[in-house]
Amino acid sequence: MNGSFDEKKADTDVILKVSGLNAYYRDRDKAGIFTGNGARKQILKNVSFEIRSGEIVGLVGESGCGKSTLAKCILGIVKDHDGRIEHASTGAQMVFQDPYGSLNPAKTVGWILEEPLRIRGELKDPDRNKKVSEMIHLVGLDDSYLTRRPNELSGGQRQRICIALALMTEPKLIIADEPVSALDVTVQDQILKLLLKLNRELGIAILFISHDLKVVYSVCSKVMVMKSGEIVEQGTDDEIYHDPKHPYTKQLLASVISA
């Protein structure tokens, strides 16, 4: 490990530090009075890494390798874990894979975007509206979308709304779980550019989770490769893509189909 993993760099830069994380999963639906607590399975094994402010870190791996569980641990949704997760700032936010499931179909876009502000109760009504409008312009849409409902929007527009929603609470870190894999290629490109723009302009760090090595390479400066709950290799994009050490990384790279 070298470069950005250098210990000499000021630690104040680190906005997320995960060390020795083990996470477990217990099937809650199978739990009951008669059936006990359900089986406990270990999903993550000894995961350690850091994210510094303004970085885009890629996390690649195949389905079921524990990528999403790691995201949920960081966000505090999965609570059954040991090891340390240290946040420098509060409230990392998340952009989900399926833009059709991540917006409440019963509410208008305006209501959805205003909700985090309402919950926090920080701003008064007119200020809230102003902030919502600011945010929707930031993601490349306009006020006319505020009165619409999610099912009237395309996948790309929904994903923009999801990004605006994640930005609403001004987080330092956004976790994007396969944010473009449900979208058409031309739309994918636009959403990736939007994420990159927000990273450059607002300095938001992004943990970018994806199974697509090409997409990860296109936006990330650091990459972690995960297999069966373990991070088998991590390093800068150059190290991972041009000088892979672990056989699994090599296998992944070999299966990339390029045009």
Partner 1 sequence: MLDVIDLNIEFHDHITPETVVYDFDLHLDEGEIVGIVGESGSGKSMSALAIAGLLSRKHMKKRGQILFDGVDLLTCSRETLRKYQGNDISMVFQEPMTSLNPVKKIGWQVGESLRIHTALTDDEIRSRVLKMLEKVELPDPEDVYDKYPHELSGGMRQRVMIAAALICEPKILIADEPTTALDVTVQAQIIKLLKRINEKTGTAILFISHDLSVVRMLCSRVLVMYHGRVVESGDVNEVFDNPKEDYTKRLISAIPRMEKLRL
Partner 2 sequence: MNRKIRENFKLYTGMLISGLMLILAVIGLKFTPYDPNEMDVSSRLAGISMAHVMGCDNFGRDIFSRILAGIGTTMTVAVGTVFIGIVLGTVVGALTGYYGGRVDEILMRFNDAVLAFPALLLALVFISVMGPGKYNVMTALGILFAPGYARIIRGEFLRCRNLDYVQSAKLMGAGDMRIMFVHILPNAFQVMLSTIAIGFNNAVLAEAGMSFLGIGVQPPDPSLGLMLSEAQSYLFVRPGYAICTGIAIVLLILGFSMLSEGLENNA
Within residues 154-183, the interface with partner 1 by CB under 8 A covers 155
> Would you count residue 40 as binding partner 2 (CB under 8 A)?
no
Q: Which does 252 bind (CB under 5 to 8 A by kind): partner 1, partner 2, none?
A: partner 1
Name every residue whose Cβ is closer than 8 Å to that of residue 66 and which is 6 or more positions away in sequence: 23, 43, 44, 226, 228, 229
> Would you count residue 29 as binding partner 2 (CB under 8 A)?
yes
Name every residue whose Cβ is closer than 8 Å to that of residue 80 and which is 6 or more positions away in sequence: 23, 24, 25, 26, 40
Q: Give the interface size with partner 2 as a residue count (CB under 8 A).
A: 29
Kind plus residue range of the DSSP H or E element containing 209: strand 205-210
> Would you count residue 212 as binding partner 1 (CB under 8 A)?
yes
Q: CA 78 to CA 100: how far, in whole Å?
A: 23
Q: Which does 193 bind (CB under 5 to 8 A by kind): partner 2, partner 1, none?
A: partner 1
Q: Considering only CA atoms, which of 159, 127, 128 is closest in space to residue 141?
A: 159
Q: How far is the CB of 183 from partner 2 (least distance, A)?
A: 15
Q: Considering only CA atoms, which of 6, 5, 3, 42 is closest in space to residue 24?
A: 42
> Would you count residue 10 as binding partner 1 (CB under 8 A)?
no
> Would you count residue 30 as binding partner 1 (CB under 8 A)?
no
Tell me whether residue 41 or residue 130 sits nearer to partner 1 (CB atom). 41
Q: CA 237 to CA 221: how far, in whole Å?
A: 5
CA atoms within 13 A on the CB side of 131: 20
The residues binding partner 2 (CB under 8 A) are: 28-29, 31-33, 75, 77, 91, 93-94, 96-98, 101-107, 115-116, 119-120, 162, 165-166, 168-169
The residues binding partner 1 (CB under 8 A) are: 62-63, 155, 184-189, 192-193, 196-197, 200, 211-215, 217-219, 241, 251-252, 254-259
